[in-house]
Amino acid sequence: MNYSSWALVSLESLLALEESLDGERALSRGFVGRYVEMWPARHARLCDALSEGNWGAATESALSLFSSSAMVGADRLGQMAGDLVELLRQERHTQAASIIVPLGVCGNETVEQLLERYVRQPA
């Protein structure tokens, strides 16, 4: 699967999040900051579930990553998580496991970009 056409971070989605919070940039940054802080634990849970063959937990973790990524404009990571959910639903476990390394790289790059382009930006 080719994900390079998907942006790591959609600034439009971040602005929409901000707008949905009545323009409260501090609230939006706090939300995105929590997403960033939760990334290592989310990724670890997903890796653990996949390595243990706990497909239900893996699907739940991937769904959580998918939905939260959509909220913060993490487009590429969200797409990868959505594809992972589909592979797990189709019981294509070997293919699902093969996504975890590129998903981890993408997640780390996404977190860096969210911090650089949004969370740490001056008000």
* CATH code of the domain covering residue 21: 1.20.120
Q: Name the least confident of 21-30, 73-82, 87-96.
A: 21-30
pLDDT tens for residues 91-113?
999 999 999 999 999 999 999 99
pLDDT at position 1 is 75
Residue 4 lies in a domain: no
What's the distance, Cα to Cα, between the start and end of the chain in Å?
Answer: 37
Residue 5 lies in a domain: no
pLDDT at position 4 is 85
Range of the domain at 16: 11-117
Burial tier of 11 (Cβ tally within 10 Å: 0-12, 13-18, 19+): exposed
pLDDT tens for residues 34-80?
999 999 999 999 999 999 999 999 999 999 999 999 999 999 999 99
pLDDT of residue 122 exceeding 90: no
pLDDT of residue 121 exceeding 90: no
* Cβ-defined contacts of 56-65 (< 8 Å, 24+): 58/84, 58/88, 58/96, 59/85, 59/88, 59/89, 62/88
pLDDT at position 56 is 97
pTM summary value: 0.92
pLDDT at position 111 is 98
Overall average pLDDT of the 111-119 stretch: 95
Question: Number of structural domains, the chain?
Answer: 1
